[in-house]
A and B are shown apart, each in its own frame.
Chain A
Amino acid sequence: MLKIRDLNVHYGGIHALKGINLSVPEGRIVTLIGANGAGKSTTLRTVCGLVKPSNGEISFCGESLVGQKTTAIIKKGITMVPEGRRVFPDLTVHENLVLGAYARHDHKAIEEDMERVNTLFPRLKERRDQLAGTLSGGEQQMLAVGRALMSRPRLLMMDEPSLGLAPVLVQDIFNIIHRINNEGMTILLIEQNAKAALELADYGYVLETGCVALSGTGQELLADDRVRKVYLGES
């Protein structure tokens, strides 16, 4: 569904991505793990058109995304839950969700999706008219995911959704990801929590300083010696 070929990204003089290859098949969960600064966020931001690649190819369902505006890319059915949640703090929970569906005009379907998000996250329904900035970290993460679902995406990309959350909430997030995927959503997941991510994912990539160092099924990577040492903290 999503294919990245030989992608290079520079920030001024910094060579952040050095020719990475990656693909996300339809209906699967693919995870991208790696240390801080490896280039994980950059990869997702480039797919969304927020960062311009210096060269390389990104295609979604056979269509090239390189050079397209973010608005156009989102309309094709890609969405991202950004790192750090980035809900709009001075907008209400409901307004945040409405913005998620900003590009859509199928009012009936939007209502359905609103219902679906409210069933998925009952807390958001209770806090409908509260400013998003007053939510707890966990609730904000739910809102960020709910907002992303409101665009009715075909590919959902998530940048460290469990960052800074209490362990019980982390489990909640992983359950939600699992559930959304079971309903047919394709997911590209960035995680610091490598163990949980690899257990959940069909396929994983390990990124090291802008290069794909390793890739394999979740099980293969979990069994790999290097992964175990560096990312799972085992000796």
Chain B
Amino acid sequence: MTLTEFLQHLANGISLGSLYALIAIGYTMVYGIIRLVNFAHGDLLMVATYMAFYGMLLFSLPWPLVFILAVILTTVMGVTIERVAYRPLRDAPRITVLISAIGVSFLLQNLGLVVFGGRSKAFYVPPFFATINHIGETAVPNLVWFIPLVTVALLMILMHLLYRTRIGMAMRAVARDLDTARLMAIDVDQVISFTFVVGSSLAAVGGLMWGLKFPQINPLMGAMPGLKCFIAAVIGGIGNISGAVAGGFVLGVGEILLVAFFPDLAGYRDAFAFVLLILTLLIRPTGLLGERVAEKV
């Protein structure tokens, strides 16, 4: 493999890793705050891409506007899911809420099959993203640098939100100790809703960029990325945001380089995530940056 080829693969890996990171943050934040693996999170990718697809097809709106609307509507959807499927179960055993999350995921997937049909659709990729640029010998489409750029910008906004604002401070407090946060007169439900706003909007942005990168969309498209991003969050240490980002990049870059160096293993691409998950759980169950999180009752 030449250096040029290696750099090309690396760029691809970083851009895929960015997507994993964006989506993994939603898993980790929700887990951190209500100790729930939100299985419906991955399906928000699908929701976002279909909204964008129909926004352009039916209303022929310009794509930047469509993308913004899709992010907003997907966020509303994510918050609504929490409101109707998780909040009423706040005092129920955790397994009950988990089952509810799996139910929501199946509901979204099957609703997608009924409403949108099972056949894959071609997602519109604006010419800007497909334009190929040459950096030295390396040829990369604009999308490849655009994705990490958006990711870094969003991460900076997220860090500002968490560490420099009132609601961010409340989110960190609720994630650490629910009852004591209540004693600070923090409206815990409101903070949880806000956490879903953040997680869902990142997933929506991730989903749209996913659609641009892999422009064939179908109602089940969220399942595998969702699973992988959950794995990324576990590898990084679930509950820890920097960990989710690290896990996302490890998974994305690792997956691409594995296939690059061992083309014979291309068919096992998806298995890589699971192997990494098993290794993590065996060697370092708390993940790369994780600490033991207290069980919440």
Nearest to B163 among chain A residues (CB) is A95
Which residues of the partner chain A approach B169 to less than 8 Å between Cβ atoms?
91, 95, 98-99
- Subset of 25 A-B contacts with CB under 8 Å: A48-B183, A50-B182, A71-B186, A74-B182, A74-B183, A79-B183, A80-B183, A82-B183, A86-B177, A88-B176, A88-B177, A88-B180, A90-B172, A90-B176, A91-B172, A95-B169, A99-B170, A99-B173, A99-B184, A99-B186, A102-B166, A102-B185, A103-B185, A151-B184, A151-B185
Nearest to A80 among chain B residues (CB) is B183
A197, B179: Cα distance in complex, Å: 26
In the complex, which residues 133-188 of chain B have their Cβ closer than 8 Å to any Cβ of chain A?
166, 169-170, 172-173, 176-177, 179-188
In the complex, which residues 240-296 of chain B have their Cβ closer than 8 Å to any Cβ of chain A?
none
Which residues of the partner chain B approach A67 to less than 8 Å between Cβ atoms?
none
A9 to chain B, nearest CB (A): 16
A71, B170: Cα distance in complex, Å: 13
Chain A residues near B (Cβ < 8 Å): 48-50, 70-71, 74-75, 79-80, 82, 86, 88-91, 95, 98-100, 102-103, 147, 151
Q: What total of chain B residues lie within 8 Å of the partner, measured CB to CB?
A: 17
A84 to chain B, nearest CB (A): 10
A82, B188: Cα distance in complex, Å: 18
Which residues of the partner chain B approach A71 to less than 8 Å between Cβ atoms?
182, 185-188
Which residues of the partner chain A approach B188 to less than 8 Å between Cβ atoms?
71
Nearest to A98 among chain B residues (CB) is B169
Query: In the bound complex, do residue B184 and residue A100 qualify as a contact, i.e. CB atoms below 8 Å apart?
Result: yes
A100 to chain B, nearest CB (A): 6
B292 to chain A, nearest CB (A): 13
Nearest to A73 among chain B residues (CB) is B185
In the complex, which residues 217-238 of chain B have their Cβ closer than 8 Å to any Cβ of chain A?
none
A86, B185: Cα distance in complex, Å: 15
